[in-house]
Amino acid sequence: MKRSILLYLSFPLLLASCGNNVSKEGRIVQPEEIAVFSSTDSCLQKTFDWAKKQALGYAHDSDDPVGPWYEAALPNREAFCMRDVAHQTVGAHILGLARHNKNMMRKFVSNISESRDYCSYWEINRYDKPAPADYTSDSEFWYNLNANHDVMQACLKLYEWTADSDFISDSEFLNFYDLSTDQFISRWQLQPDRIMSRPPYMNQPPDFVETNNFHSCRGLPSYVENFRGLTVGVDLVATLYGGFHSYSKIAGLNGDTIKSAYAAAEALRYREIIDSLWWDDENMRYNTFWTEEGNFYRGEGVPFILWFDATDREERIRASVGDILSREWNVENMSAFPAIFYKLGYSGEAYRFLTSLPSSDRSEYPEVSFGLIEGIVCGAMGMRPSASKKTIGTLSRVEGKTCEIRNVPLFDGFISLRHDGTSLSEIENNTGTDLIWEASFVGSHPSLVCEGKLLSAGVSNDIKGNPISTIKINLPANSRKTVKTVD
């Protein structure tokens, strides 16, 4: 089924043609006009073209019983799982798959159930059924306990990109958030004061058999699935931080100051657990597994601390980047590295993953292509929208090359952005919302130039220590503006 999206903007479409006070005219934007990327960096161009074709090849419209969806699980599974969808949503939105995102998220939040101990369906197939590979009944199924809170953070991100209030106020979504931060936490003993002493297996059927994966994996306390005796992984603690932090913001946006304050305090308790208990000061790294014998072990998990911003200690973040770079990873983890490393200021490392992942083993895993789209648009080009603040942030981290992305879906319209190296940025706001443009540049620039005017800039540092200069300027609906550094 061919997809079409109605765009209200001035005609013609090209970036250079739009002025500041133009009337809106409806026109149909075809799928091939959405998220059109061009760059003088041939490696980035090749990566984006590969990732876009690959990702859109996984998208399916409403012909299936489940409705619009995209593959977010093992290839050929014809299904989508909570973890992968949570990590693919931003890339999917950039490519115009907003309907797919919302439909899949609604499937997850609407299927939370007390009979499944406040779990949802870990994986749903195209027939709108829990995938048989992961589910036989409410007492026998596979479920990673990170999932609820991973989905919560993803839903908040989707609100910031779409301004769709359903993600923060619809009754089904709110029910999922409320249950996931209350009954779900209690049922699985995930409270900050109990999480380190919880047993490895909980809420199991009377005929529990440890070798039966649908028994022993019904409530895995980590995304790591092959470490026996695990009672909690650092990735789960980090995810809980991310979920409660997101819940605090969602409650705040709904005017519920009591829930917002409670969730913010809980989030900080999980962060404190990570920094007070999981940090190995002798080896300058985080442990990742805690077992029923009361011992720490090392394995996967550290990238999730950075993905969820579950520590704010800059020296530990830098140490964690070094820890990650010192070992090999599977593609599920590496898919997130470009976005993570660009955000922290490690542009060279991010670029290396961006350009090598398409030819890596298992590059056909759906998370790879969606992660690369996010890595280029949000990482290399630094696009950061916020519906709650009515802002759009940008930051080019590609030196000496031109990068342009046209017609990225945003709110009720589209945004287009071009960077000329790290010295000039041009943006076009083809939405119905007046925004504040937070235009950032690598380097210490006391002043930046916008429309011929010299404006004072604020200078801060990213995690790596690179100076970043930023100005905030008004960007009305249907307008275009340019900011550049001083020669």
pLDDT in tens, 348-392: 999 999 999 999 999 999 999 999 999 999 999 999 999 999 999
23 versus 453: which is more confidently predicted? Answer: 453
CATH of the domain at 224: 1.50.10.10
- At 29-52, the pLDDT tens digits run 688 899 999 999 999 999 999 999
Whether residue 42 lies inside any domain: the answer is: no
Domain containing 12 equals: 1-33+384-487
Whether residue 201 lies inside any domain: the answer is: yes
pLDDT for res 229? 87
Whether residue 46 lies inside any domain: the answer is: no
Q: Are both 243 and 164 inside the same structural domain?
A: yes
Q: Are both 143 and 18 inside the same structural domain?
A: no
Phi, psi of 469 (to 5 degrees): -105, 135
Check pLDDT > 80 for residue 11.
no
pLDDT for res 272? 98
What is the distance between the terminal CA atoms of the chain, rounded to a whole angstrom? 50
Q: Are both 342 and 461 inside the same structural domain?
A: no
Whether residue 164 lies inside any domain: the answer is: yes
Q: Are both 340 and 450 inside the same structural domain?
A: no
Whether residue 157 lies inside any domain: the answer is: yes
Pairing of strands 5-9, 25-29: antiparallel
pLDDT for res 34? 97
Task: Give the CA distances from residue 57 to residues 54, 133, 317, 435, 450, in Å, rounded to whole numbers and listed in that order.
Answer: 5, 23, 36, 33, 40
* Mean pLDDT, all residues of the chain: 93
Whether residue 38 lies inside any domain: the answer is: no
State the Cα–Cα distance between residues 118 and 126, nearest whole angstrom: 23
Q: Are both 244 and 223 inside the same structural domain?
A: yes
- At 207-256, the pLDDT tens digits run 999 889 999 999 999 999 988 889 999 999 999 999 999 999 999 999 99
Q: Are both 317 and 459 inside the same structural domain?
A: no
Q: Are both 369 and 458 inside the same structural domain?
A: no
Q: Are both 404 and 330 inside the same structural domain?
A: no
pLDDT for res 124? 98
Domain count, the chain: 2
Query: Tell me, what DSSP letter sits at residue 114?
Result: G
pLDDT for res 32? 87
- At 48-84, the pLDDT tens digits run 999 999 999 999 987 899 999 999 999 889 999 999 9
- With the CA atoms of 357, 358, 361 and 362 taken in that order, what torsion angle do they form, in degrees rounded to the nearest 10? 110
Whether residue 43 lies inside any domain: the answer is: no
The alpha helices in 36-94, defined as continuous H runs, are 42-57, 82-94
Q: Which of 354, 380, 406 marks a domain boundary?
A: 380
| pTM score of the predicted model | 0.93
Cα 63–chain centre separation:
27
Single-letter amino acid code for the residue at 458 = G
Q: Are both 4 and 152 inside the same structural domain?
A: no
- At 285-338, the pLDDT tens digits run 999 999 999 999 999 999 999 999 999 999 999 999 999 999 999 999 999 999
- At 161-179, the pLDDT tens digits run 999 999 999 999 999 999 9
Question: Which percentage of the chain shows pLDDT scores above 70?
Answer: 94
| Contact yes or no for 274/241 (Cβ under 8 A) | yes
Q: Which of 353, 380, 407 marks a domain boundary?
A: 380
If you average pLDDT over residues 182-210, what whole number do you get? 96
Burial class (CB in 10 A: 0-12, 13-18, 19+), 132: exposed
pLDDT for res 233? 98
Q: Are both 341 and 459 inside the same structural domain?
A: no
Whether residue 370 lies inside any domain: the answer is: yes
Q: Are both 286 and 199 inside the same structural domain?
A: yes
- At 266-279, the pLDDT tens digits run 999 999 999 999 99
If you average pLDDT over residues 6-30, what whole number do you get? 38
pLDDT for res 28? 66
Q: Which of 355, 380, 405 marks a domain boundary?
A: 380
Q: Are both 368 and 397 inside the same structural domain?
A: no
pLDDT for res 161? 98
CATH of the domain at 412: 2.60.40
pLDDT for res 148? 98
- At 424-455, the pLDDT tens digits run 999 999 999 999 999 999 999 999 999 899 99
